[in-house]
Amino acid sequence: MYKIYKIGLLGFGHIGKGVNKVLESLSKRQPVELVKIFDIEEKKEEIGPRFVSSIDEITDDPNIDIVIEALGGNAFPFECIKQALKAKKHVITSNKEVVSKHIIELLALAHTNDVFFQFEASVGGGIPLINPLINLTKYDTIVSLRGILNSTTNIILTQMQDNNMSLEKALDYTKELGVVEKDYQMDLLGYDLAQKIALLSSLAFKSYVEPKLVPRRGIQGINLDIIKDINSKGYYLKFLAEAKLETDTLRIGVEPALVNINHQLVSIKNDYSDICIILKDSGKIQFAGKGSGSIPASCSIESDIIRVIENNGYIQNIDINNYKIEDLHTKTTKYYVYKKNKSFITTFDEIEKINPEFYARISD
């Protein structure tokens, strides 16, 4: 018997509107129908007859098969996702904060209720990354991850280095593009990247990483004088998230890093993202593409819907190992240091004595 998968959408903001748009197209190719949309009362007229004012109207509806969470934030979306899973609905989300903080509990709930929990759009926007990463762990061992995974800061650093914009003007530029978080400090201070590399590492190494345990330094201290000095020395500044496995220790961190001006990462500009995965047997695998925007993220949500339809959305538990977490650097890791209009290269163990205005790791 031909089945139409009924979908309930939580949230009609930036991502939710993109989901609505792509589902109109997807429904012509796949057996899906968006039947209910939850949001605040003020959006009732905009949403139309599919509007509902209560989450219960979606989770308690026996005709709804899939719930898509596009609310943003942590506490309320987390409760909504739990409620949907307990109601035996497949759940799809783009919410990196909820997934990175609560993935163990949410996967367990999905398994208990015999439904799928999917989150392809939570890292990398439109890049097919999460499920390929999960599949790689089935036949090979992941050794390391390194990525440019925050569009806001990548746009800022691109504009500062390529177009001589100040940090303030570059930040305003990202706001005009509509890619910056409501609280842009989440981007500049590295919280967004910490959540993303924690989630990717949990999946890659099957050892849960709490985002708050990821060592993190932001780019808020950067200015054009420092940028010009870095570029004059043949380097380009990137904001990187990295993790690598060393026996029973997971070295992980988020920090500004200098790469050679001819490095492949220099070509990853503006709202593009990139993740490099090193595997024990297969070697290097690279993923790159649009890292932000409602349509790219919604396309990743589409891929999750298709996995549900094809009964191919099972994700195994990620708390199999229990690796010790340490910072990426060692005492002898080399760093670029800028202080009082002068710069030099030193080792990490010397930085605290210097108290620099800005410093960044020299990356390979």
Nearest to residue 265, comparing CAs of 157, 183, 148? 148
* Residue 359 amino acid letter: Y
Q: How far is CA 126 from the centre of its chain?
A: 11
Residue 1 is predicted with a pLDDT of 53
Nearest to residue 322, comparing CAs of 26, 35, 48, 104? 104
Residue 154 is predicted with a pLDDT of 97
Residue 29 is predicted with a pLDDT of 94
Per-residue pLDDT reduced to its tens digit, 30-65: 999 999 999 999 999 999 999 999 999 999 999 999
Largest CA distance in the chain: 73
What would the mean pLDDT of 121-150 be, rounded to a whole number? 95
Nearest to residue 162, comparing CAs of 67, 58, 267? 267
pTM assigned to the model = 0.95
What would the mean pLDDT of 200-222 be, rounded to a whole number? 96
Per-residue pLDDT reduced to its tens digit, 71-88: 988 999 999 999 999 999
What is the distance between the alpha carbons of residues 47 and 91, in angstroms, rounded to a whole number? 21
| 3-class secondary structure, 156 | helix
